[in-house]
Amino acid sequence: MTTATTQADGTPGQQPVGTQPPPETMRFPDTPKFRGFFAPSRIEADVYDLEVEGSIPPELSGAFYRAAADTQYPPRFPNDVYINGDGMIHMVRFDNGHADLKTRYVRTQRFQLERQARQALFGAYRNPRTDDPSVAGVDDGNANTSIIWHAGKLLALKEAALPYELDPATLETKGVYDFSGQIPGRTFTAHPKHDPRTGELIAFAYNASGLPDKQIHIYEISADGKVTRSQTFEVPYSSMVHDWLVTRDHFVFTISPMVADPEQMKTEEQYFVWDPNQGTYVAIIPRDQGVSGIKWFRSEQLMETHSLNAWTDGDTLVGDHFTTESGWFSQFPKTTVGLLPELPPFLHRWTFDLTQGAAHWDDATDTYHSEQLLSSPGDMPRVDPRVLMEKNRHAWVGGFHPDLPKGEIGPMGPPFNSLIHRDDLTGESAFWSPGEHGAPEEPVFVPKSADADEGEGYLLALVGRRDQMRHDLVVLDALDIAAGPIATVKIPFRLRYGFHGTWVPASELGR
């Protein structure tokens, strides 16, 4: 047994038992990712009947869940990536005009071992070489990226590991969920897509061996949780595949030069290294024919941050997503060509002629059309989930009003200053801004009723209040966000700035 220590240069060292140094003081690094509003919160709370300004519509009945990275212990590398933090789930349960808050860490294997040791044992993101030897071979999943509801299960997802199942009422961790052994690999995307018509979950996994590799697995999972189809295809090189575009008839993967190379991991901490000398490729896989019908295209150099929606119309495939021409340097600053500036993502519409493309990436064609849909940058897009995989009219995103100042830089760039509603029929955009010290996080759409028209419903979003060191959860009329919140649910403390959430109606929660 050895104990982890950290040397002055930040590299982990080891001390044999018996010559242990005095315990280090519990202290997070004094860096922007761990300071002020962006510091870990680590608060597991139950607050009943949160204060509300305005009034919560009584038909808003169910639970809002959201995942965040709330680092439990000071990292072994002071410049550790934000996305390596421990998964914390935030739940606001809405019931007849009332709102109750629950926050809980996901009890991952990693979380439990580190709590026992009272220190970080896992090192750099996805790099087992940098872990304490005592955790060799232990799953490093931290369940911090997104949370979904499928087949009556609440699952916290991290693309580097398998899902964790949680109790939807108590947020107690039930354990790793591998779809009852039907998922062969060690990873599962944080961005699976629900087909609203069939209730299926369409998912993928990359680097499923646990290390960089060139396979991508595609899973089709029935509404009752059975993996009905599993396929694998090859990509030209191993890289981050965070999100994708899914239509009812096609799967679309963007392969961008955020490269994961097993060789460089032997000397570097960083799992991904931007290599602008690698091409950007797009793989389009027809759902009926499967991977044998794959078609490869070349794109301009870019990285997809998040997809909004996609649909197939005859021989035309349309995909709306946020893309940036740079890598994700706030997390992975090292590139093969020195330091480069991170550029913000913009919403783009890709249109592909499906009669084009090539069976192998070496012959890929660059025949596609790209159009920018919003003049201001943003990310974290949402549609009404009932129109996923078909043409949508309404879109909601986090972003920036061009006339408002950008807030203090956060762990992943400047926090949004606005939510934006884009109407594809009129091409118009509406904005809502929470004011100078407010930062909205990802919006989640809730239909007013099961048979309401597309977009008729509520937009829920957590809003950081940097001047008050706490959060609100706002409820907006999704088709009139500029009117401001119908209800502002006041959270009396600061949550850690998070990622993706979902809504589960009370009828599904069974109470």
- C-alpha 299/C-alpha 267 separation (Å) is 31
User: Any contact of residue 368 with ligand V55 (CB under 6 A)?
Assistant: no
Identity of the residue, 76 or 242, whose beta carbon is nearer to ligand V55 in the bound complex: 242
Question: For 482, what's the count of Cα atoms within 13 Å in the CB-facing half-sphere?
Answer: 7
Identity of the residue, 90 or 295, whose beta carbon is nearer to ligand V55 in the bound complex: 90
Identity of the residue, 404 or 409, whose beta carbon is nearer to ligand V55 in the bound complex: 409
Identity of the residue, 432 or 497, whose beta carbon is nearer to ligand V55 in the bound complex: 497
Instruction: Find the shortest distance in angstroms from Cβ 240 to ligand V55.
Output: 6
- Spatial CB neighbours of 30, under 8 Å, sequence gap ≥ 6: none
Q: Give the binding range for ligand V55 (CB under 6 A) out of 153-161, 231-239, 275-283, 489-497.
A: 153-161
Place of tokens 């596609």: 368
Q: Give the binding range for ligand V55 (CB under 6 A) out of 70-78, 154-162, 210-218, 386-394.
A: 154-162
User: Any contact of residue 304 with ligand V55 (CB under 6 A)?
Assistant: no
Identity of the residue, 121 or 160, whose beta carbon is nearer to ligand V55 in the bound complex: 160
Identity of the residue, 84 or 418, whose beta carbon is nearer to ligand V55 in the bound complex: 84
Asked if residue 304 lies in contact with residue 323, where contact means CB atoms within 8 angstroms, the answer is yes
Distances (CA, A) of 188 to 19, 157, 202, 207, 476: 41, 7, 11, 9, 32
Tokens of 149: 């509801």
Q: Give the binding range for ligand V55 (CB under 6 A) out of 40-48, 133-141, 155-163, 386-394.
A: 155-163
Tokens of 489: 């649910």
User: Any contact of residue 65 with ligand V55 (CB under 6 A)?
Assistant: no
User: Any contact of residue 102 with ligand V55 (CB under 6 A)?
Assistant: no
- C-alpha 295/C-alpha 252 separation (Å) is 10
Q: For residue 67, give the H/E element and its range.
A: strand 62-69
Instruction: Find the shortest distance in angstroms from Cβ 242 to ligand V55.
Output: 4
Asked if residue 240 lies in contact with residue 302, where contact means CB atoms within 8 angstroms, the answer is no
Angle at 126 between CA 125 and CA 132, to 5 degrees: 85
Residue 378 dihedral angles phi and psi, to the nearest 5°: 180, -165
User: Any contact of residue 144 with ligand V55 (CB under 6 A)?
Assistant: yes
Instruction: Find the shortest distance in angstroms from Cβ 144 to ligand V55.
Output: 5
Q: Give the binding range for ligand V55 (CB under 6 A) out of 104-112, 158-166, 453-461, 483-491.
A: 158-166
Tokens of 106: 């996901």
Instruction: Find the shortest distance in angstroms from Cβ 72 to ligand V55.
Output: 15
User: Any contact of residue 159 with ligand V55 (CB under 6 A)?
Assistant: yes
User: Any contact of residue 140 with ligand V55 (CB under 6 A)?
Assistant: no
Helix (H, G, I), strand (E, B) or coil at 508: helix
- C-alpha 210/C-alpha 109 separation (Å) is 16
Instruction: Find the shortest distance in angstroms from Cβ 224 to ligand V55.
Output: 28
Give me the residue whose beta carbon is nearest to ligand V55.
83
Identity of the residue, 160 or 171, whose beta carbon is nearer to ligand V55 in the bound complex: 160
Asked if residue 23 lies in contact with residue 5, where contact means CB atoms within 8 angstroms, the answer is no
Instruction: Find the shortest distance in angstroms from Cβ 499 to ligand V55.
Output: 5
Identity of the residue, 326 or 356, whose beta carbon is nearer to ligand V55 in the bound complex: 326
Place of tokens 């070496």: 362
- C-alpha 162/C-alpha 167 separation (Å) is 17
Helix (H, G, I), strand (E, B) or coil at 289: coil
Q: Give the binding range for ligand V55 (CB under 6 A) out of 94-102, 152-160, 278-286, 397-405.
A: 152-160
Which residue in 145, 238, 433, 488 binds ligand V55 (CB under 6 A)? 145
Identity of the residue, 99 or 160, whose beta carbon is nearer to ligand V55 in the bound complex: 160
Output the DSSP codes for 214-229. Answer: SEEEEEEE-TTS-EEE
Instruction: Find the shortest distance in angstroms from Cβ 35 to ligand V55.
Output: 19
Which residue in 50, 56, 83, 273 binds ligand V55 (CB under 6 A)? 83
Q: Give the binding range for ligand V55 (CB under 6 A) out of 157-165, 169-177, 291-299, 360-368.
A: 157-165
Identity of the residue, 431 or 499, whose beta carbon is nearer to ligand V55 in the bound complex: 499
Site for ligand V55 in 221-280 (CB under 6 A): 242
Instruction: Find the shortest distance in angstroms from Cβ 266 to ligand V55.
Output: 21
Instruction: Find the shortest distance in angstroms from Cβ 117 to ligand V55.
Output: 23
User: Any contact of residue 70 with ligand V55 (CB under 6 A)?
Assistant: no
Output the DSSP codes for 114-174. Answer: HHHHTS----STT-GGGS-GGGTT-------SEEEEETTEEEEE-TTS--EEE-TTT--EE
User: Any contact of residue 380 with ligand V55 (CB under 6 A)?
Assistant: no
- C-alpha 244/C-alpha 126 separation (Å) is 21
- Spatial CB neighbours of 218, under 8 Å, sequence gap ≥ 6: 202, 203, 204, 229, 230, 231, 232, 233, 251, 285, 291
User: Any contact of residue 499 with ligand V55 (CB under 6 A)?
Assistant: yes
Residue 463 dihedral angles phi and psi, to the nearest 5°: -130, 120
Binding site for ligand V55 (CB under 6 A): 69, 83, 144-145, 158-160, 242, 499
